[in-house]
C-alpha cells in the first residue's frame, strides 16, 4: 500500500511507534537486546515513546525524560544503530509521506548520531 498522508496526530505516532517496535522486537540482531532490556515493560516503554515523538514532531511539551542513559548500558554498536535506522525508515516510508514523516526520519538519524558519539566518548573514557 502506498502511503497517502503525513504524520498528523498522536494516533499516527502510535501507529508508527507500534509498527516499528513490533519489527524491532522480532529482529534477529536488535530484538534480543531490546527484549532483554525492556522485558515485560513494553507497554510503559511504548507510552514514553509516544510522548517522545509527539514532543519532537509537534513541539508539544509532553516528554521531559532523558533517553540516552538507559541506552548507555546496552551492548550496541554501529551495526545495531544501522539496523534500527533501517527498520525505522522502512516503517515511516510504509505508513506516511510528507514533511513530518521526513522530519521523523531526520530526527532518528540525528538521535542515532548523537547516541553513537556519546557511547564512543563513554567507552573511550572508560578504556583509559
CA angle in degrees (0–180, nearest 5) for 21-63-118:
70
- Using alpha carbons, select from 26, 19, 30, 11 the residue that is nearest to residue 76: 30
Q: 45: annotated binding-site residue?
A: no
Alpha-carbon gap, residue 104 to 73, rounded angstroms: 25
Query: Would you list which residues are annotated within the binding site for heme?
Result: 71
Residue stretches of the annotated binding site:
71
Amino acid at each position: 500500500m502506498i502511503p497517502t498522508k503525513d504524520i498528523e496526530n498522536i494516533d499516527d505516532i502510535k501507529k508508527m511507534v507500534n509498527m516499528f517496535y513490533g519489527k524491532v522486537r522480532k529482529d534477529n540482531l536488535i530484538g534480543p537486546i531490546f527484549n532483554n532490556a525492556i522485558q515485560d515493560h513494553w507497554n510503559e516503554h511504548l507510552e514514553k515513546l509516544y510522548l517522545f515523538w509527539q514532543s519532537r514532531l509537534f513541539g508539544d511539551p509532553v516528554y521531559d525524560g532523558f533517553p540516552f542513559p538507559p541506552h548507555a548500558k546496552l551492548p550496541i554498536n554501529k551495526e545495531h544503530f544501522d539496523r534500527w535506522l533501517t527498520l525505522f525508515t522502512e516503517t515511516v516510508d510504509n505508513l506516511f509521506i510528507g514533511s513530518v514523516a521526513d522530519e521523523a526520519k531526520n530526527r532518528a538519524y540525528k538521535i542515532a548520531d548523537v547516541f553513537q558519539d556519546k557511547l564512543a566518548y563513554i567507552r573511550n573514557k572508560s578504556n583509559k
